[in-house]
Structure 1
Amino acid sequence: MRIVVINHVTLDGVMQGPGRSDEDTRDGFPHGGWAAERGGDDDVTRAWGRRLAAGSGYLLGRRTYQDVLAHWNTQDSPFRDALNNAPKYVVSNTLAEPLPWPNSTLLSGDIPAAVAELRKTPGNDLHIMGSGALIRTLAPLGLIDEYLLCIHPLVLGVGRRLFADGFVPTTFDVADTISTATGVIIAGYRPHPRGPVRAERG
């Protein structure tokens, strides 16, 4: 199965707290809900819907897992049943089974090795939402197959970025792009097969 990152980001790469004001206030982040505040975007909804169709699953870090569980299971939304029914793999060395959300499996210990083994199994895509620390752990090891990014036309200047300082240099191939009426660019990127960029020695 493939591992696919699917996230909202700003022009300056911020991925923190796109959905609501209290989603992620770490480090005093004051701009929570920046994606939701732009209003609905049918193209974004369709793009996410196609990717998160029945049969796909999720690979989530602990913080994202607990936040999504706490939020969506209190909402009267079609997303609730879809999320409950989907297979979810949760990366954590602090949580213990049984996990509270249906269809959840804990991955602990050597996380990269566990994800590498999971990736070898046949099946539909596993999507990483949020989970910046998990992304930064897996990316240098070539364990992420694709990034589907909804790039919003705003700059926040502060916040946790998807590709933060220290992220392994990587060249990407463009899989597809869509420009929406609200200015969001939906872009699919695949890490180039040659792997991480290596700095040339002088």
Structure 2
Amino acid sequence: MRSISATMFTTLDGVVQGLGRPDEDTRGGFPHGGWGARYTDEVLAAEMGKGMAQAGAMLFGRRTWQDFIGAWASATDGNPFTAHLNAARKYVVSATLTDAEAWENSTLLRSVDDVAALDGDLSIIGSAALVRSLHAAGLVDHYTLVIHPLTLGCGARLFDGPAPLTEFTLDSSATTGKGVIVARYSRVSPAALGPGALSPGER
């Protein structure tokens, strides 16, 4: 049985663009790249480590996959996250890549339908466009939202347009010393919501 878990780093106003570096994602003239760096601490690292401990393959959109190659594929810093990423089975969803040979243990997929055909547990970090498509198809089972205590006022948001009606339950939450909230949610199935909770077009 397939299960998809998405980890998204977001601001209070829902921006998910350019978390790590000034040059990470400047599309649309985004001027605030690297906004998440000053919020890193031991508590956040420990919470993110819980995700690393879970079994399963990783799933990426093309941009995030290529960005992670530059940051992690050739790193020799002894960071356990580096070893985890390089050893993990990885799937990249892209209509433009010709192959996935640039990063070991990677497999190229062409569409959300290809993702739906996979078995086993899959985890996504970032890749907002892919997450939106998977959410619209009802394929995201779990979210870990890493909510940072700032607003940016511009930039790509987790849901830039309408998202289908979907209910989630809060499984757990943690707050770091720098005010970041790590909230973990699981999707409620339409059957669990009861008759009439969702219209046929929203199921």
Instruction: State the TM bucket, normalised to the shorter chain.
Output: 0.7 to 0.9
- Corresponding position of 1:107: 109
User: For residues 150 and 159 of structure 1, what CA distance do their matches in structure 2 show?
Assistant: 17
* Deviation for aligned residue 1:57: 2.4
For the Cα contact (< 8 Å) 1:55–1:86, is it kept in 2? no
Alignment partner of 2:117: what SS? helix
Q: Does 1:156 align with 2:158?
A: no
Residues 23-47 of structure 1, C-alpha deviations (whole Å, 9 max, x = no match):
1111011111111123x32221111
For the Cα contact (< 8 Å) 1:54–1:82, is it kept in 2? no
* Deviation for aligned residue 1:51: 0.8
**Residues 93-104 of structure 1 aligned to structure 2 (within 5 Å):** 93-104=95-106
Q: Does 1:131 align with 2:133?
A: no
* Deviation for aligned residue 1:170: 2.5
* Deviation for aligned residue 1:63: 0.6
Report which stretch shifted further, 168-177 or 24-33: 168-177
User: For residues 46 and 57 of structure 2, what CA distance do their matches in structure 1 show?
Assistant: 17
* Deviation for aligned residue 1:169: 3.2
User: For residues 54 and 151 of structure 1, what CA distance do their matches in structure 2 show?
Assistant: 21
User: For residues 98 and 48 of structure 1, what CA distance do their matches in structure 2 show?
Assistant: 26
Residues 45 and 56 from structure 1, CA distance in 2 versus in 1: closer, same or farther, beyond 3 angstroms? farther
For the Cα contact (< 8 Å) 2:73–2:103, is it kept in 1? no
**Residues 1-202 of structure 1 aligned to structure 2 (within 5 Å):** 1-38=2-39, 40-53=40-53, 55-77=55-77, 78=79, 79-108=81-110, 111-118=111-118, 121=119, 123=120, 125-194=121-190
Q: Structure 1: which 5+ runs fail to align? A: none
Alignment partner of 2:60: what SS? strand
In structure 2, give the amino acid aligned to 1:90.
V
User: For residues 43 and 98 of structure 1, what CA distance do their matches in structure 2 show?
Assistant: 34
Moved over 6 A (4+): none
Aligned residues: 192
* Deviation for aligned residue 1:49: 0.9
User: For residues 61 and 73 of structure 1, what CA distance do their matches in structure 2 show?
Assistant: 16
Q: CA RMSD in A?
A: 2.0
Alignment partner of 1:66: what SS? helix
Report which stretch shifted further, 59-68 or 78-87: 78-87
User: For residues 126 and 184 of structure 1, what CA distance do their matches in structure 2 show?
Assistant: 25
Report % sequence identity: 46
User: For residues 162 and 193 of structure 1, what CA distance do their matches in structure 2 show?
Assistant: 22
Residues 40-71 of structure 1, C-alpha deviations (whole Å, 9 max, x = no match):
32221111111112743210000110011012
User: For residues 117 and 74 of structure 1, what CA distance do their matches in structure 2 show?
Assistant: 31
Report which stretch shifted further, 157-166 or 146-155: 157-166
Q: Structure 2 length as normaliser, TM-score? A: 0.87
Q: Structure 2: which 5+ runs fail to align? A: none
